[in-house]
Structure 1
Amino acid sequence: MANETLALVQEKPAQYLDQDGLWKKVITDLFKPFMLFFAPDLYDKLDWSRMPDSLEQELHRTFPVIEGKRYTDKLMKIHLKDGKEQWILAHIEVQGYKDDDFSERMFQYFYRIFDKYQQKIFTIALLADPDRSFKPTVYDYHFHGTTLTYIYNTYKFLDQDEEELLQSDNPFAYVVLAGIYTLKSKKMPANAINSSVVCLN
Structure 2
Amino acid sequence: MTEKQQRADHDSPWKEILEAYFPQAMQFFFPQTAALIDWERPHQFLDKEFQQISREAEQGRRYADKLVKVWLLQGEEIWLLIHIEIQAKPEDNFAERIFTYSLRIFDKFGKPAVSLAILCDADSTWRPNQYSYDYPDCGLNFRFGTVKLLDYQHRWSELEASDNPFATVVMAHLKTQQTKKKPGERKTWKFSLIRRLYEQGWQEKDIRNLYRFIDWVMILPKALEAEFWQEFKQFEQERSMSYITTGERIGYERGKQEGQLKQAQALVLRQLQKRVGDFPPEVREQIQTLSLEQLEALGEALLDFRSNADLLNWLEAN
TM-score by length of 2: 0.53
Is the Cα–Cα contact under 8 Å of residues 105 and 112 in structure 2 kept in the other structure?
A: no
Shift of 1:91: 1.0
Q: How many residues align?
A: 184
1:165 equivalenced with 2:159 (yes/no): yes
Does 29-38 or 162-171 show the bigger shift? 162-171
Q: Unpaired segments of 5 or more residues in structure 1?
A: 1-14
Pairs within 5 Å for 1:47-196 = 47-64=38-55, 66=58, 68-82=60-74, 84=75, 86-95=76-85, 96=87, 97-143=89-135, 145-160=137-152, 161-189=155-183, 191-196=184-189
Shift of 1:58: 1.5
The verdict on how the C-alpha distance between 1:109 and 1:98 changes in structure 2, with shifts beyond 3 A counting, is same
Counterpart for residue 29 of structure 1: 20
Distance 1:67 1:181 in 2: 28
Distance 1:176 1:18 in 2: 19
The verdict on how the C-alpha distance between 1:170 and 1:50 changes in structure 2, with shifts beyond 3 A counting, is same
Which amino acid is 2:140 matched to? L
TM-score by length of 1: 0.81
State the secondary structure of the residue aligned to 2:114.
Answer: strand
Instruction: Point out which structure has higher relative CO (alpha carbons under 8 A, 6+ apart).
Output: 1
Runs of 4+ in 1 over 6 A off after TM superposition: none
- Name the structure where strand makes up a greater proportion of residues: 1
Give % identity: 35
Distance 2:119 2:59 in 1: 21
State the secondary structure of the residue aligned to 1:100.
Answer: coil
Q: Unpaired segments of 5 or more residues in structure 2?
A: 1-5, 197-318
